[in-house]
Amino acid sequence: MRFALSIAFVVALGSVGAQGQGHPDFSGTWSMDLTRSEAAAQGAAIGPVTVTIRQAPEELRIDTTRNGKTESVRYLPASANAKSSDEPLGSFRWDGSKLRTSLVTDINKQAITLEEVRSLDAAGREMTVELTLVVEHGYQSGGTGVLRSQNSPNSTKGINVFVKAP
CATH of the domain at 59: 2.40.128.20
d(CA 113, CA 134): 5
* 14 domain residue, yes or no: no
d(CA 87, CA 130): 24
Going by C-alpha positions, the residue among 123, 126, 149 that lies closest to residue 136 is: 149
**Letter for the amino acid at 86?**
D
DSSP 153: T
Per residue of the chain (166 residues), give pLDDT as tens.
444 333 333 333 333 333 345 899 999 999 999 999 988 766 666 788 999 999 999 999 999 999 899 999 999 999 887 666 677 899 999 999 999 999 998 878 888 899 999 999 999 999 999 999 998 765 554 444 444 445 556 888 999 999 999 8
**Letter for the amino acid at 149?**
S
* 137 domain residue, yes or no: yes
d(CA 86, CA 120): 31
| pLDDT at res. 86 | 73
What's the N-to-C CA distance of the chain in angstroms? 51
Phi then psi for 112, rounded to 5 degrees? -135, 155
Distances (CA, A) of 65 to 94, 136, 166: 25, 25, 18
| pLDDT at res. 106 | 82
Domain of residue 82 covers 24-164
* 101 domain residue, yes or no: yes
Strand partners, 128: 119, 161
* 73 domain residue, yes or no: yes
Number of domains in the chain: 1
| pLDDT at res. 75 | 96
